[in-house]
Amino acid sequence: MKNFVIATALSLCVAAPAFAAKSGNYYDAYDARDHSNRNDRMARGSKMYIGLSGGQQSTNIPNLSATSTNTSSTAYSVFAGYSFNEYFAAELAYANFGTIDLITPTDTMKSSAGSLSAVASMPLGRVASLFIKGGYASTTTEVTSSGVVSPTDSTSGGTYGAGIQLNAGNRVGIRIGYDTYRMLVGTTNHNANVASLGVMFKF
């Protein structure tokens, strides 16, 4: 999966300038929204963006905690995307779900995911938009018990999310989002749900 993520990222970086050169300036619906006047929108020469986010991951896995089946951890992610037009984009991301303490501090679980998703956006005026996304993710989970690391559990499947984006000028966006991934622990699949706040930079 790591090789796939790296190869896809390089492909996006190489292809994006060529697409931008062919299509001319990109009129971002987030920068300014006026259905009657396209010239009212700010033009950018590229359709690329990058970003990072941080937040809380939660999951419901029985028997992981001595006091509760609900466990959570601090999560972060980095992402890069390419906007095909005002409403659709492709996005590559790496998410680290952090480390969850299990029954004792020496028993922990950590997990992460790499994903490729399609993003659909609906502008809400000049400074905001709603977005939904869905795609494919590969997750890995590692459990450590009394200092002994168990074999890594890996699984692949769908991922989806939604949120709102607020734009601070024509180059910076603030994202509030909620994403769901599937992860494998032992022989059972569980959901990893991530609520996050992030920032993105548009080129």
For the entire predicted model, the pTM comes to 0.74
State residue 85 phi and psi, 5-degree precision: -160, -160
Which residue spans within the chain are E strands per DSSP? 26-27, 43-44, 48-60, 70-83, 88-101, 108-123, 128-145, 148-149, 153-167, 172-185, 188-202
Containing domain of residue 80, as a range?
Answer: 2-202
Report angle CA 200, 33, 170 to the nearest 5 degrees.
Answer: 30
Higher pLDDT, 168 or 12: 168
Per the structure, how many domains does the chain have?
1
State pLDDT tens for residues 77-111: 999 999 888 789 999 999 999 888 766 556 788 89
State pLDDT tens for residues 8-57: 444 444 444 444 334 444 445 444 444 444 444 455 545 899 999 999 99
Q: What percent of the chain has pLDDT over 70?
A: 69
State pLDDT tens for residues 120-162: 999 887 788 999 999 999 999 888 877 777 778 888 999 999 9
* CATH number for position 24: 2.40.160.20
Whether residue 67 has pLDDT greater than 80:
no
Token pair in block for residue 196: 């996050």
Of 169, 93, 104, nearest to 143 by C-alpha is: 104
